[in-house]
Structure 1
Amino acid sequence: MLKVSNLTVEFFKKVALEDITLELPPGVHAILGPNSSGKSTLLKAIASLIPIKKGEVIYDGISISKLPPKKRAQIVGYCWQNPYQGFFEDSVKREIEFILKNTNAKASEEVLEILGVNKLYEKNPFRLSGGEARRVSIASIVVADQPIILLDEPFNDMDLDGYLSIVNLLSFFRKRNKTVIIALNNSMHLNLVKPDDVFVIYSGRIVEKTTLRELNDDVLEKYNIVTRKLILESAC
């Protein structure tokens, strides 16, 4: 069980996340909110990539922030919203090897196959298209088979094949009993993700906890989240 208790984050004395408490068993959990609502900040705080003002993140009774970086990387895999931000090497193959070396893990061949990155091995990750870069970015993290996976807007820049690869990856994670937290700003993507629950975040606070079935357009419109209605109106 992953527990987030009374989590508060501040940047330059301005509150970015305020008193967030979550209990997340294995499964797929969606964090839904508009741009600049705190989604990415929450994922980074869970991964201990940014300082926490108050509160803690506990996994199986262990405080993640108190673990050394190498041990944290074995437990939590954070996939960047901007995939190029997470690249360090000059080939896709070396990117995959980098995370495996730093986590002492064996590659999950299923992940590489699902995301279709094998054919990109010799390419420079910084020169990939947006969709290719996102698949490689996700693969280069989750290939280490961590129990907690954090996906920040994974559908961005993806074509249809990319969408299907993410859907298949989530199915794979469910079978492996992983805890997956996926940040989204478009409610339409929830139909692909089929999360176990949905947490709506707005101005750094969790304002709604609901399910895909119970979530309605009134809530989405209240918090400026992209809806099917808004997409159709924009197309007219």
Structure 2
Amino acid sequence: MSNKLLKVSNLTVEFFKKVALEDITLELPPGVHAILGPNSSGKSTLLKAIASLIPIKKGEVIYDGISISKLPPKKRAQIVGYCWQNPYQGFFEDSVKREIEFILKNTNAKASEEVLEILGVNKLYEKNPFRLSGGEARRVSIASIVVADQPIILLDEPFNDMDLDGYLSIVNLLSFFRKRNKTVIIALNNSMHLNLVKPDDVFVIYSGRIVEKTTLRELNDDVLEKYNIVTRKLILESAC
């Protein structure tokens, strides 16, 4: 079993001379790690920077002693799978089947049949991904990336638009990833989703900085309220 570390060192990202991420340092072993923060806090930017989808001003991302940004695109795609927050952004082909085949061709990988079964995309093969419902599109978008069995998986708000079956598919997928000893980073803005994810650790991001490192058990509503994240207490009280 692999125990390779993903190291993010002093990561800084700027857009139009405005700091989007500032001096972020993380050391992530295999397991499930949650990045929790309000909208526009830098969650998606952090995942994209780790995947080398956007330029980095300072710092680097290292996996198994290798700088990810220095790898050619095909090699990066074999190591890191980034699943878009907007699933339609990641589609290129006119059928679900061709979407699945696209990533496999570009990574020289064999399809992980377990992933396809867990996400239930087999029955959607002949459909146009751009015409799927939001939940279907998200499951297909995730499958079309992680089917290549990368060691690092980045999930950006994977519960959005999901119904009950969709929620269960993500929970089962995370369990599958744990058994496969993958490093999973999941970005969330809903603290209640942490109870489904059961992350090994929780990093709270706010205004482009990691402001808290904690665990699900130790995370309290005072921290959530301080950083403008909807508290679990508020959600439960509103449901009464």
TM-score grouping bracket, smaller chain normalisation: over 0.9
Q: Secondary structure at the match of 2:33?
A: strand
Distance (whole Å) between structure 1 residues aligned to residue 144 and residue 153 of structure 2 = 12
Q: Deviation of residue 235 (structure 1)? A: 5.5
Q: Which runs of 5+ in 2 are unaligned?
A: none
Deviations 1:117-141 (A, max 9, x none): 0000000000000000000000000
Q: Deviation of residue 195 (structure 1)? A: 0.2
Deviations 1:41-95 (A, max 9, x none): 0000000000000000000000000000000000000000000000000000000
Q: Secondary structure at the match of 1:212?
A: coil
Distance (whole Å) between structure 1 residues aligned to residue 200 and residue 232 of structure 2 = 21
TM-score of the superposed pair, with normalisation by structure 2: 0.97
Distance (whole Å) between structure 2 residues aligned to residue 13 and residue 2 of structure 1 = 28
Q: Deviation of residue 234 (structure 1)? A: 5.0
Farther-moved stretch of structure 1 (138-147 vs 219-228): 219-228
Q: Deviation of residue 231 (structure 1)? A: 2.4
Q: Secondary structure at the match of 2:229?
A: coil
Q: Deviation of residue 183 (structure 1)? A: 0.1
Moved segments of 4+, more than 3 Å: 232-236
From 46, 54, 58, give the equivalent of 2:58.
54
- Indicate the RMSD between aligned Cα atoms, in angstroms: 0.9
From 180, 194, 213, give the equivalent of 1:209.
213
Q: Deviation of residue 228 (structure 1)? A: 2.2
Distance (whole Å) between structure 2 residues aligned to residue 223 and residue 88 of structure 1 = 37
Deviations 1:12-63 (A, max 9, x none): 0000000000000000000000000000000000000000000000000000
Q: Deviation of residue 230 (structure 1)? A: 2.5
Distance (whole Å) between structure 1 residues aligned to residue 232 and residue 238 of structure 2 = 10
Q: Deviation of residue 233 (structure 1)? A: 5.2
Deviations 1:162-199 (A, max 9, x none): 00000000000000000000000000000000000000
TM-score of the superposed pair, with normalisation by structure 1: 0.99
Percent of aligned positions with the same letter in both sequences?
100
Q: Deviation of residue 226 (structure 1)? A: 1.8
Q: Secondary structure at the match of 2:103?
A: helix
Count of residue pairs brought into register by the alignment = 236
